[in-house]
């Protein structure tokens, strides 16, 4: 299973899950909600996800450190400001919220499995390997950060 660690870009994982959610929604039971409600939920949750991910990306750029998900060892700074005061993974949280908004738009019970599957996959194959590398690189400062800020929320 280590072969999947830090191998697939998280946005690609989210896209693949989003496509699977759409496919699943075509064949599974559909919940009946008005289109306006579905669109409003998608826009609201999707915007929250996009803003969250953008805020995380912006903090990395301000710190002039890498956002490359394949090379966390290239990080030049431990970013703990901005949105990183509330979540250690705002970009992944943003993708999760986008998937949740998409599930709301699809209005399908099986589509809700998408964000539910995304979280453990990203936790296992992206976040945990990143955390191991960041812990080795930033030591006590990273340990202190982990003790006060949650992985997701």
Can you give the pLDDT of all 153 residues of the chain as single tens digits? 788 899 999 999 999 999 999 999 998 788 889 999 999 999 999 999 999 999 999 999 999 999 999 999 999 999 999 999 999 999 999 999 999 999 999 999 899 999 999 999 999 999 999 999 999 999 999 999 999 999 999
DSSP secondary structure of 24-53: HHHHS-B----HHHHHHHHHHHHHHHHHHH
Q: How far apart are CA 120 and CA 37, in angstroms?
A: 28
CA atoms within 13 A on the CB side of 129: 18
| Overall pTM > 0.75 | yes
Look at residue 150 and tell me if it is in a domain.
yes
Across all residues in the chain, what is the average pLDDT? 96
Domain that holds residue 104: 34-66+77-153
Q: Please compute Rg for the chain using Cα positions.
A: 17
Q: Between 113-122 and 10-27, two packed helices, what is the crossing angle to 10 degrees?
A: 160
Look at residue 91 and tell me if it is in a domain.
yes
Look at residue 137 and tell me if it is in a domain.
yes
């Amino acid at each position: 299973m280590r072969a999947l660690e830090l191998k697939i870009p998280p946005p690609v994982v989210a896209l693949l899950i989003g496509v699977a959610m759409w496919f699943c929604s075509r064949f599974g039971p559909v919940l009946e909600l008005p289109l306006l409600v579905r669109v409003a939920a998608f826009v609201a949750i999707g915007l929250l996800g996009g803003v969250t991910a953008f805020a995380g990306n912006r903090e990395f750029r301000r710190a002039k450190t890498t956002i490359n998900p394949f090379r966390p060892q290239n990080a030049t700074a431990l970013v703990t400001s901005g949105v990183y005061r509330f979540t250690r993974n705002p970009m992944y949280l943003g993708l999760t919220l986008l998937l949740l908004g998409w599930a709301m738009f699809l209005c399908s019970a099986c589509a809700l499995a998408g964000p539910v599957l995304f979280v453990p996959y990203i936790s296992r194959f992206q976040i945990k390997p990143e955390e191991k590398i960041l812990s080795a690189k930033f030591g006590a400062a990273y340990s202190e950060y982990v003790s006060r800020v949650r992985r997701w929320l």
